[in-house]
Chains A and B, each alone.
Chain A
Amino acid sequence: MALTPEPGAASNLPAIVTERRDLVEPIVVPNTLWQSSNPVAYNGGQDSEITHLREFEASGAGRRDDARWAGPLEVIPTKADIVLDLIRANSLWPLLSGLACCAIEMMSAATSKNDMDRWGMFPFRASPRQADVLIVAGTCTTKMAGPLVRLWEQMPEPKWCVAMGDCTCSGGRYKRSYSTIQGIDRIMPVDVYVPGCPPRPEGLIYGMMKLQQLIKDRRGHWPDRAIGPTVPEDL
């Protein structure tokens, strides 16, 4: 499907992404299909200034594979990775950080009725240094974006992110709001999206089990991660 920009589109935006390399770079996926009825409302239509991920990519630090997956374990035969991934998949400590409504359902998923502990996902760590998976549960506002990104960057590799709820997946019911982020995949990489407003606890557990499957398929590898919304290759 080839789409051409409409004549009225802003010219300072980058072209439509075509390669996988390009998908890694931008934080804000340029939109050329639609124009706001009031473009000035967004500070003159300027780009986002959240560029830390872009700078991180440019610095090349993310491409060093230090102690993330292989590191000192490179000497072990490749098949050992399967075991390591199994271990990682079965011990996912979420970060104890709820943003809004979904946090209650996240807690409900960990409590007696829907016991996430059964899969080894229970010890909710209060400190990001010890957490493996960031469940972004609830609406992320623009004021919260900075702290949230810092939390993500404070987590040690390997780490994963689960976007829980419509607000974190795409903006949800706050899609017109002046102060919410329209999907957290604009500021940080996301591995699993769990839609729903809020999703049931079973939904979150299903998402976490999907994450386990992804880990077993080696999805957490940093260079393979696409930053930004998941856009089809042919767009």
Chain B
Amino acid sequence: MDRALRRRLEARFGKVLTGPVRQRHDETEIRIGAGDVPEVLLALHDEPDFRFGLLSDLAGVDTGTSMQTVYHLWSDSSGDWLRVIADGLSRDDPRVPSVTFLWKGAEWMEREAYDMFGITFEGNRDLRRIYMPPDYASFPLRKDFFLADDASRSPAGGVRHMEQTHGPTNAEAGARIRQAPAS
């Protein structure tokens, strides 16, 4: 656990952070608003204090109430993985600036997050579905997309793509959207 990194992060991004800097095991976590993603990541990438040169992972998360995009970074100046969570995206129209200007390799990861969650990355010049076919309408990894108990016994026999045809409002009584823990 790198205490110095925590102090440096708090000193540099104190105003931008929307939550406390958390540390557990070898991970450091900061939370920022969606609009601050380019500045924060650019600073982390370029400034000599941080030098987070490697984008280790980019993921979308559906917390049940809002959307998040999560960036994991690696730096040779710190022993920790840095997790940057862009929080509070609306579930109806999640939008976040793209980081392809920094890491061109983030393009496909953003496409994947778009395909699975419907998060729009502004600035990504190839934001289309990557896994599911173009005529697919649902976003499978959203929490209001329910899996069948056994797709092979369903009427369509699993031959077609499973689609989400109902919102949470008309879900049956047993169906409850899982919500992420508050942490």
Contacts and interface: CB of A to CB of B under 8 A. Distances in A.
A178 B155 contact: no
A28 B155 CA distance: 8
Residues of A contacting B: mostly? loop
A142 B161 contact: yes
A45 B155 contact: yes
16 contacts: A27-B157, A28-B157, A36-B149, A36-B150, A39-B154, A41-B154, A42-B148, A43-B156, A142-B161, A143-B133, A175-B152, A177-B147, A179-B161, A181-B159, A186-B157, A186-B159
Interface residues of A, number: 40
Nearest to B170: A40
Nearest to A180: B158
A14 B146 CA distance: 27
Nearest to B141: A178
B151 A28 contact: no
Interface string A14-49: 000000000000011111011011111111111111
B175 interface: yes
B174 interface: yes
A43 B165 contact: yes
Interface string A114-142: 00000000000000000000000000001
A142 B159 contact: yes
Contacts, number: 119
A68 B162 CA distance: 38
Contact of A187 (B140, B159, B162, B166): B159
Given A36-B149, A39-B155, A47-B155, A142 B160 contact: yes
A176 interface: yes
Contacts of B156: 28, 42-43, 45-48
Give me the 9 closest cross-chain CB pairs, A-B, nearest first.
A182-B152, A182-B158, A178-B162, A48-B159, A28-B157, A45-B155, A34-B153, A171-B152, A42-B156
A170 interface: yes
Given A175-B152, A176-B150, A178-B161, 17 more contacts: A34-B150, A36-B155, A37-B174, A38-B146, A41-B165, A42-B163, A43-B163, A43-B165, A45-B156, A46-B155, A48-B156, A142-B160, A143-B133, A176-B148, A179-B162, A182-B159, A186-B159
Interface band, chain B: 20 to 34
B160 A49 contact: yes
A31 B157 contact: yes
Given A13-B155, A47-B155, A143-B133, A41 B161 contact: no
Interface of B: 131-133, 140, 145-166, 172, 174-175
Given A38-B146, A38-B148, A176-B150, A48 B157 contact: yes
A145 interface: yes
Contacts of B164: 41
A108 B151 CA distance: 31
Nearest to B164: A41
A175 B172 CA distance: 22
A45 B160 CA distance: 11
A124 B130 CA distance: 30
Contacts of B159: 27-28, 48, 50, 142, 145, 181-182, 186-187
**Which among B153, B158, B166 has the highest number of chain A CB atoms within 10 Å?**
B158
A176 B157 contact: no
A220 interface: no
A34 B149 CA distance: 11
